[in-house]
A and B are shown apart, each in its own frame.
Chain A
């Protein structure tokens, strides 16, 4: 990326204290919504199917099945409306973009969880 564009991103976006996540991970995005002049936090839990872009314009897309209907939402990574992100599960996938998930449903749409080896105690 252009050094000047990068400089502007650093000045304007700052850093975000989010856990590291990638495509295939299951996350909960807690974002602010304004309802009748009041602000509240709503969660959106689903699988990350892509991360796109660099710097201040980076986005990620989360997909979930809600009442049997697939719902996708794209969030700008540096949006001030994102309150926090929780990492629920780390998925084991071989691709960076999981668009094939759109054609799948039920059992075949599951993403295998990556189990981390925990160092033995003592």
Chain B
């Protein structure tokens, strides 16, 4: 069973504990999310709750989306996510706010990491490069080296780590602590850092 909410990454700062320890925290504006669909085992084969977050303009909404949101009696929303086996009983049209979490709770945060573009193997896979800059070595400091054998394989194995597009992956960070909640502003502060750039969509779940 799980509970979760959709939020937007706002930024980072640090806060002090009463004994003077400084902790870095990420501010997330989470919710309020509207329940737009409740899936049950009988009708859909699995149990889940569909949450919607963030307003969107009517001209960007298709007729199908309009009807879907009309069933939940809400305006069109930008982001729709499903949470499997939701532990909180909610009906269509009800809203979910940051109140579902309490301070001190451990949560997971899912986000999309910042895109790094086309990167070499040293940055992308942590290769150490050639290692030497002298002894005749010339301009191959960050090269991958050999990618396979000669006649025995005669091919490069699948999954060989090479240069390519890096970042923009869905990443889940576990074990982040809820440090503080501001229910009036829908802000939730979690310890440490969270994947993605400022303004990106994250899921907070437990």
Chain A positions near chain B (C-beta within 8 angstroms): 2, 4-5, 7-9, 11-13, 32, 55-57, 76, 78-81
Contact = CB atoms under 8 A, between A and B. Distances in A.
CB-based closest 7 A-B pairs = A81-B20, A4-B10, A5-B11, A2-B11, A80-B20, A12-B15, A80-B16
B21 to A, nearest CB: 9
B182 interface: yes
B27 interface: yes
A14 B145 CA distance: 56
Interface of B: 10-16, 18-20, 22, 27, 29, 180, 182, 185, 187, 189, 198
Given A12-B180, A76-B22, A4 B187 contact: yes
A80 B18 CA distance: 7
B20 A79 contact: yes
A56 B18 contact: no
Most buried by B among A5, A12, A79: A12
Contacts of A57: 13-14
A4 B29 contact: yes
Contact of B10 (A5, A56, A76, A78): A5
A79 B185 contact: no
B25 to A, nearest CB: 8
Nearest to A7: B185
A99 B19 CA distance: 31
Given A8-B189, A12-B180, A79 B16 contact: yes
Contact of B187 (A8, A32, A79, A80): A8
A76 B185 CA distance: 27
Contacts of B189: 8
10 contacts: A2-B10, A5-B11, A5-B12, A7-B182, A8-B27, A8-B187, A55-B13, A57-B13, A57-B14, A79-B16
